[in-house]
Amino acid sequence: MAIQSQSTVSLPTSVTQSTQSLLNRKVSTEDSLYHICLTIQKRLELLPQIRPYLNLAHASSELLSERQALLLSQKQQLSQQHHRSVGSAMSGNSGAAGVKNGLDRRISSLSASSFNEDPEASSISVEETVVTFSMGILPISMDCDPVTQLSQLFQQGSPLCIIFNAVKPQYKLPVVSSDDLKICKKSIYDFILACKKYFTFSDEELFTISDVFSNDTEHFIKVLDVVKTLMDSAPQVLPQIPVEHIKWSNTDRGKVVREFIETERKYVYDLEILNQYRNQLLQRGIINSEELYMLFPNLSDIIDFQRRFLISMEINGQVDPSKQRIGALFMHSKHFFKLYEPWSIGQNAAIDFISSSFDKMAGSDFVIGNKLELQSFLLKPVQRLCKYPLLLKELLQQAKDSANYKELELAWEISKSIARSINENQRRTENHEVVKKLYDRVVNWKGYRIAKFGELLYFDKVAISTGNGNESEHEFEVYLFEKIIILFSELVQKKGNSISLKKKASSASTITLQHMSGSGNNLNSHGSSGDSKLDLRGRIMIVNLNQVSPIDNRSLSIIWESPKEQGNFVLKFKNEETRDNWCSSLQSLLRQIRSESLKSSNSDRSSFSSNTYYPHYSMNSINSSQNRRISDVLPKQHTHQSFENEYRSISENYRTSIPESTLLVRISYQNDFYTVLVEVDSGIDNMLQIVKRKLTHVGNISKIKYQDEDGDYVMLESEDDWNVVKDMLRESSERILNVWAHA
């Protein structure tokens, strides 16, 4: 009799269902690996000759659970010692402890401090702490999980032969009980050969000996599929037993736990669907390996982890709420949630790829046959990670009197941190695309280099005022980068292809800005097309910010100070959450700048307003036809200070005497100063030749640098560099260029 070995464990009848029904399918205990193993275990107990092996498997599984608890305890103790947060050390030799001591370790092994991921903090890796098929620490009333117990049963070899003999008594296999690994493997080998010979399993449908001893859930399921198929072929010997109905608690906490477990089952089921679709693409060779990873990064590892996570949740759902260890589960799982990082980063790219290439990925026999449904499946991992904080918050509210409240509280913090990390990865990916578009949208960058702004943090349409109650607000597109806040006004196309400002501010208000600001990805929702041209209207350097503080419900007050000027302005956002994100980011940047300043100059913020003169360029108000800006340039080397002091001595009469078609280039070389006149229309080669000719007597000049508006010293060596310099001077109405020459 030939038996089809279609998987009956991980993904029952999924191929025959439509994609829509898969998305909406209600998942029950029959789809849970935990309950499937419980049911198989009960069916096997009907065979008297296999019961001793089940008892032995239970004992070995219990030892593995204790070992996992011990490893977690040791890792935490070592981490605490590394960070000197806890002075007590764990007893070094607990291997001979009995079950009672093991249970005590479960209670204390994860205390109110989370795992530290520093590899130097412990010689035990997080992966080494997973020795069972469940995550975390079992509740005190549970000895082991049924999945690990069945795995230990199959590794004995003899039980597989007993199952085969019960199903096919006419082809009996020898049953040799031994703890010798070679004999166990020989029994497994006999079982595999018999299945292939008498049940016509193909090599692809069968498992290998190494699969039996693997700690991977995928390999275990392959073994379980074959065993279950054999058992189902002999219902008269091993009758079907319905999965036991769970009696959920009707308390508020019980309802939250039920929702947690049922939604987790559905999530794991959806991952199985996604994995089956990936395997279909892989087997057909439809897309290459890079595209496959882009669509399903770390999917195999994620499924393996989430199966274990669900097994632990199922176990906790079976015990009294006072004994649940859901918090410890999250503390153990913290490291494994990092598997999702490439998923969150590449999600937008995956969706775009599906939109353009799904036609070649479709097939009538594929488990997923619709573009929109595939996109929905790909969104589920990120959605699930963002759901955990909500579920844990509800659970926390119902567990205030629980002995494990601290664990749950830490689990909630871990889940929020994971969700923030996911959102941050997605925001950075989206912002990267925004910056690329922004480069082309701005009509005139006025000498600024977007590559020097640092990372784009936020961007949004923001109403800005000076805080004067008599002054009206004006809306700008504001971009917050790591080093600068920048303001733009949208331009509209007029007839004759001329461009004008879409909205001009009145000349009554004056705001001086020093740093560019990023948006919060809300521009489109506020009416911007995303492709319209922009006019740079103002900027403020982060280094010039003095104070950032929230006011009202959704406004942010910013006080700035430069060597020559000071002022304040108010940003009004669309909602309080956006305001808080900007406020937190700006305050973090300020702390970082002040910390770096103290380290580099051994002085406090007063050094920014010292008597030393720094070049300062200003423009008119952002509300006038010409933008107002402040460039607070801090020289990197003390030797430049004398040059800056001499720069002050140039009289206004001398400045105005410079011809309009000419620039005065002032050269600093080893504390000496030289001046040359260079035509504005001349090229970089001509300018460099004039400078080097002036310094012929000092030898060969190899480098010439200028100081840009961010205070950085930039090599002047290409035509593009020269054009940036001229734009910078033209924008600030300056006729004098300061350069530093190096031999």
Let me know: does 226 contact 207? Beta carbons within 8 Å.
yes
- Compute the C-alpha angle 398/399/402, nearest 5°: 155
Let me know: does 446 contact 536? Beta carbons within 8 Å.
yes
The residue behind tokens 């031999």 is 743
DSSP state of 366: S
pLDDT, position 20: 58
Residue 634 buriedness (CB in 10 A; 0-12 / 13-18 / 19+): middle
pTM, full prediction: 0.69
- State the CATH architecture for 52-232: Orthogonal Bundle (1.10)
**Residue of higher predicted confidence among 613 and 155:** 155
Distance, first Cα to last Cα, the chain: 90
Q: CA-CA distances (angstroms) from residue 434 to 414, 437, 442, 569, 584?
A: 30, 5, 12, 26, 21
Let me know: does 743 contact 702? Beta carbons within 8 Å.
yes
**Residue of higher predicted confidence among 732 and 311:** 311
Residue 223, pLDDT > 80, answer: yes
- 3-state SS, residue 456: strand
Q: Which two tokens stand for residue 711?
A: 């205070």
pLDDT, position 658: 75
Segment 260-275 shows an average pLDDT of 95
Residue 123, pLDDT > 70, answer: no
CA–centroid distance for 675 within its chain: 53
pLDDT, position 719: 87
Band (261; pLDDT cuts 50, 70, 90): very high
pLDDT per residue as tens digits for the range 465-499: 876 666 678 899 999 999 999 999 988 765 555 55
Segment 441-454 shows an average pLDDT of 85
How many Cβ atoms from other residues are within 10 Å of residue 448's Cβ? 23
Taking all residues of the chain, what is their mean pLDDT, rounded to a whole number?
A: 79
499-501 and 484-493 beta bridge pairing: antiparallel
463 phi and psi angles, rounded to 5 deg? -85, 130
Least confident of 165-179, 229-243, 570-584, 710-724: 710-724
pLDDT, position 619: 30
42 phi and psi angles, rounded to 5 deg? -65, -35
pLDDT, position 102: 46
pLDDT, position 417: 93
467 phi and psi angles, rounded to 5 deg? 90, -5
pLDDT per residue as tens digits for the range 410-434: 999 999 999 999 888 888 888 888 9
Report the CATH superfamily, name and number, of domain 252-422.
Answer: Dbl homology (DH) domain (1.20.900.10)
- Compute the C-alpha angle 703/704/706, nearest 5°: 140
Give me the residue spans of the domains in the chain: 52-232, 252-422, 442-609, 638-742
Q: Which residues contact 131 (CB under 8 A, 6 or more apart)?
A: 64, 67, 68, 71, 215
Residue 288, pLDDT > 70, answer: yes
Cα separation of 261 and 657, whole Å? 81
Helical H runs in 636-678?
641-648, 652-656
pLDDT per residue as tens digits for the range 544-600: 888 999 988 889 999 988 766 778 889 999 999 899 989 999 999 988 888 877 766
pLDDT per residue as tens digits for the range 348-398: 888 888 988 888 888 778 888 888 889 999 999 999 999 999 999 999 998
What type of residue sits at position 14? S
Closest CA to 725 of 693, 669, 695, 680: 680
pLDDT per residue as tens digits for the range 527-541: 444 678 998 988 888
Band (601; pLDDT cuts 50, 70, 90): low
Least confident of 94-108, 228-242, 482-496, 662-676: 94-108
For 638-742, CATH gives: 3.10.20.90
Q: CA-CA distances (angstroms) from residue 401 to 249, 406, 475, 509?
A: 17, 10, 50, 57
pLDDT per residue as tens digits for the range 85-119: 444 433 444 433 443 444 444 444 444 343 344 44
How many Cβ atoms from other residues are within 10 Å of residue 694's Cβ? 17
Let me know: does 268 contact 306? Beta carbons within 8 Å.
yes
Let me know: does 647 contact 664? Beta carbons within 8 Å.
no
Which class does domain 442-609 fall in? mainly beta
Beta bridge pairs of residue 479? 459, 486
Q: In 600-650, at which residue ranges do the beta strands (DSSP E only) sit?
A: 628-629
Q: CA-CA distances (angstroms) from residue 193 to 140, 224, 238, 390?
A: 41, 16, 22, 50
pLDDT, position 126: 78
Cα separation of 409 and 400, whole Å? 10
pLDDT per residue as tens digits for the range 169-220: 999 999 999 999 999 999 999 999 999 999 888 888 999 999 999 999 999 9
Closest CA to 269 of 415, 151, 350, 380: 380
Segment 18-27 shows an average pLDDT of 73
pLDDT, position 672: 78
